[in-house]
Amino acid sequence: MNRRIFSFVSGFIVALGLSAALHAQKPPAVDTVFLNDASKTARSGRVTNVDKTQVRLEVPVAAGGAGSKMSVSIPRAQIDRIEFARSESMDELLKDPDLADIPELSVLWKAWQPLLDLPKSPAARIGNTYALLLLRSGEASRAQEALEIFTNVEKQGWDENSQKIARQGRLRAMVATGNAASAVSEAEILAVESEDPEVLVEAKFILAEAARTALVKLESDNPRWTEDINVRPERERLYHEALELYLYPYLFFGSDESTASRGLWGVITVHRFNNDIPSAIEASRDMLRLYPQTPFARQAGEFLATLSEDQLKQDTEKEAQYENAPDTKSQN
């Protein structure tokens, strides 16, 4: 288990089955349970267990001396929300996870999932972060797990923003698990109806992924497509459609590093599939210049490192500028 989890796993997770010794390494965090009565009664302590019907809270008691505690049960129906103690380590993990953090996030998700529908719970954020990481791994079995998590968060998450993120993730997971047709149909509707830029960008990304997948399949099914007048137009349509859709966030929301770099990497993959290495080089250089801190910049750098010096000398942008420059001799 990643050492970071030792710094923030509270008694709540311990009570759900992890090592009890873990809790002794740090003073217990204080959680506050707000009831839904008229006065919004607040009770402070440490959440130690959760199920579908109740929450158990460990609270200090005056009788019995210093450090004495007792456990009380609070019906879920009486709870308005729970404000859990802030964990800087968990916030750090959720902000910038990598594939090596998958086991740690799996533990967190299993622990917090029972609180998915409870206001102020971080369960939805944990679930979405974990599922996105599973998708990033590229493994089919993990994509299926991601689909289940996104679906769960979309249906039960307590806040609309988490549900929106989960819906977008669910569409991506549907594509990754072979159910692209349904995902594309839903994304097409979102692309037309949504006024939310984030939803629109995600819908276009889903459509871009579907177009690229269809392009790859078409060429696989038709290896001599260049000679087939019936196949060639569809191949060119899919090629340009994929590029256009991948470019959308880069062109219109370029300051959003996450989505813009993701789309630009899609452009690079399409150029490479098309064996258009000069264009792939140019897009990779744009990636390294504009989004150097993103995971996709690292991938772009790795691609450039595989090329020869002669290939890297190509600069299609400069060539295009030269070709389009005014002919000063003819003007004179």
Buried b / exposed e over 132-162, threshold 16 CB at 10 Å, is: bbbbbeeeeebbebbbebbbbbbebbbeeeb
pLDDT, position 71: 85
Q: How far is it, in rounded angstroms, from Cα 180 to Cα 171? A: 8
Domain membership of residue 113 (yes or no) is: no
Of how many residues is the chain composed? 332
The two three-digit tokens of residue 46, written as one number: 């440490």
Flag residues of the chain having pLDDT under 70.
Answer: 1-29, 62-67, 315-332
**CA Rg, the chain, in Å?**
26
The whole-angstrom separation of Cα 332 and Cα 137 is 60
Alpha-carbon separation of residue 288 from 52, 99, 159, 304 (angstroms) = 48, 22, 36, 10
Does residue 142 fall inside a structural domain?
A: no
The predicted pLDDT at position 292 comes to 96
Which of 83, 115, 143 corresponds to the end of one domain? Answer: 83
Quote the domain boundaries for residue 291: 201-321
Q: Supply the CATH number for residue 55's domain.
A: 2.30.30
Residue 243 lies in a domain: yes
Please say which residue of 23, 49, 83 terminates a domain.
83
Residue 116 lies in a domain: no
Is 92 part of any domain?
A: no
Q: Supply 252's token pair.
A: 């219109």
The CATH number of residue 234's host domain is 1.25.40
Q: What is the pLDDT of residue 54?
A: 85
Report how far apart, in Å, the C-alpha atoms of 137 and of each of 134, 173, 202, 218 are.
5, 12, 19, 25
Domain count, the chain: 2
Report if residue 143 sits inside a domain: no
- pLDDT, position 19: 30
CA-based nearest residue to 132, from 259, 8, 244: 259
In 10 A of CB 187, how many CB atoms? 28
- The last residue of one of the domains, among 62, 83, 104, is 83
What pLDDT, on the 0 to 100 scale, is given for residue 328?
45
Q: What are phi and psi of 79, to 5 degrees?
A: -95, 130
Residue 9 falls inside a structural domain = yes
Does residue 253 lie in a domain region? yes
